[in-house]
Amino acid sequence: MTLPSASSEYALQEISTKYLLRARLARAIGEVCQMAAKSDVEADLSVTLAVEHPESADEYQFLSAITPAPPGRSYKGRGDTLSRRCDNTHNVLAFLNKASPQDLRSHNFFPPPAPTTRATLSSVTVARKSRFIAGRYTKYSRNVSNSPFIINNVKVAPTSVAEQIGLPLQEAYQATDYKFVGSGREDVDVRMLGTGRPFYIELVNPRRAHLTPEELDNVRQTAINSFAPVQAVGILREIKAHLTAGIKEGEENKTKEYACLVWLKDPIAADEAAVKVRPYQEGFTVQQKCPVRVMNRRALLTRPKQIHTLDVKILEPHFALVTLSTEAGTYIKEFVHSDCGRSSPSLAEILDTSADLLELDVVNVDLAWPPAAES
């Protein structure tokens, strides 16, 4: 649509009809709802109107005779049919922009044919932008997975951290769905202790826009923490979407501390173990090939990982308590038993005996989280 500009009645300024329609609809919706409304893609609450007009649904078909495929996309081998090339509004507009008035006129489309039926409103969708809740959790069970653990439609672990934290928050915010994201994840048989693992929950299309800090803490204490094996520690805090990137930083760059109960094939005295471990106590690099247990879903690469500290305390001749701090992403189980020599040096290699991991705990994830509240 073109309208005269303010400077000249002959100069024309192009204005898309969709912007005029949006503005008019926003005003009408605002009047009905008795609230301010405007067309704004960044708005917190959105109302999407779907309009159907079957009579004009196939009007674009004539474009196949007058325009080539739009640039920037390859259609080789796909059958260059119009239905494939005009598979969305963007492509139809690209075709129209390449067509001349003469092309349109030759197909009786300049001006377009007048409709004989009215368009109908097929659906109205109201949605609110996601809310993000940040916190930390501890896990005291060796039978709770990080996210729902399902194999062949059978739930292997009875519940998960994601469910125990996400479902109460989803209910409190009356959200359509939730997404749980942690700074890394522990295996189902690994406990998460100390100050907990950082996480955030994305609440999709919440009907409640906000909870007060007091309401959030009430959800934490009465709903989430009613399940003893999983606890949300500290505070839960609403954060802006851009702050969730901090979780990825913790997953990839931060230091993590572990405690392991290890079985040793050969009995080792405390002083002997101390001598063997001493060269490694202040840090070293372990080369880790893709572990056998995850070869089906990980790239077959060798990854160097930094072990920052290592300490071995002999409990009994065949048992040791191993504490270590490592670079994020280090495979601790494989470091202990060597994974058939795929992790080197391993604890088994350092102590010169076969070793196996009996129990593993994460005792600290070094990440400042949740982020401070924005003013």
Is pLDDT at 103 greater than 90 in this prediction? Answer: no
Place 29 in a pLDDT band, splitting at 50, 70 and 90: confident
Please answer whether residues 236 and 168 qualify as being in contact, where contact means their C-beta atoms are separated by less than 8 angstroms.
Answer: no
Contacts of 166 (CB under 8 A, 6+ apart): 178, 179, 180, 201
Note the pLDDT of residue 371.
92
What average pLDDT score do residues 100-109 get? 84
Q: What is the mean pLDDT of residues 136-146?
A: 97
Residue 337 near residue 167, CB atoms below 8 Å? no
The chain-wide mean pLDDT, for the chain, equals 88
Per CATH, 129-252 and 255-365 having the same topology is answered yes
Active site residue 80: no
Using a 10 angstrom Cβ sphere, with 0-12 exposed, 13-18 middle and 19 or more buried, the burial of residue 250 is buried
**pLDDT tier at 6 (50, 70, 90 boundaries)?**
very low
d(CA 189, CA 72): 50
* 222 token code pair: 């009465």
Per-residue confidence band for 346, with pLDDT thresholds at 50, 70 and 90: very high
Sequence ranges of the domains in the chain: 2-127, 129-252, 255-365
Dihedral (CA of 298, 294, 326, 337) sign? negative
* Residue 244 and residue 372 in contact, taking contact as beta carbons nearer than 8 Å: no
Residue 152 has pLDDT above 70, yes or no: yes
Indicate if the pLDDT at residue 354 is higher than 60.
yes
Residue of higher predicted confidence among 314 and 22: 314
Does the structure show a pLDDT above 60 at 149?
A: yes
User: Kind and range of the H or E element at 247?
Assistant: helix 245-253
pLDDT higher than 90, residue 156 = no
Ramachandran class of 108: left when φ > 0, alpha when ψ lies in -120 to 50, beta otherwise: left
Place of tokens 């109460």: 168
Which of 44, 58, 177, 187 is flagged as catalytic? Answer: 187
CATH fold of 129-252 reads Alpha-Beta Plaits (3.30.70)
Q: What is the pLDDT of residue 86?
A: 63
Band of residue 2 on the pLDDT scale cut at 50, 70, 90: very low
Reported pTM: 0.80
Cα(238)–Cα(49) distance, rounded to whole angstroms?
30
**Distances in Å between the alpha carbon of 343 and those of 132, 304, 362?**
38, 10, 20
Q: Which two tokens stand for residue 178?
A: 């939730």
pLDDT value at 8 more than 50: no
Adjacent-strand bridge partners of 312: 322
Q: What pLDDT is recorded for position 85?
A: 62
Say how far apart CA 40 and CA 26 lie, in whole Å: 9
pLDDT digit string (tens) for 237-281? 999 999 999 998 766 778 999 999 999 999 999 999 999 999 999
Residues 122-146: what's their mean pLDDT?
96
Quick one: average pLDDT of 194-207? 97
SS3 342: coil
Residue 84 above 80 pLDDT? no
**What pLDDT is recorded for position 94?**
80
Minimum mean pLDDT range among 50-59, 61-70, 278-287:
61-70
Averaged pLDDT, 209-221: 96
Q: Report the topology of domain 255-365.
A: Alpha-Beta Plaits (3.30.70)
| DSSP tag of 52 | E
Res 26: pLDDT: 82
Strand partners, 255: 327
Rounded to the nearest 10 degrees, the angle between the axes of helix 161-173 and helix 213-222 is 140
Q: Phi/psi class of residue 184: alpha, beta or left (left: φ > 0; alpha: ψ in -120 to 50)?
A: left
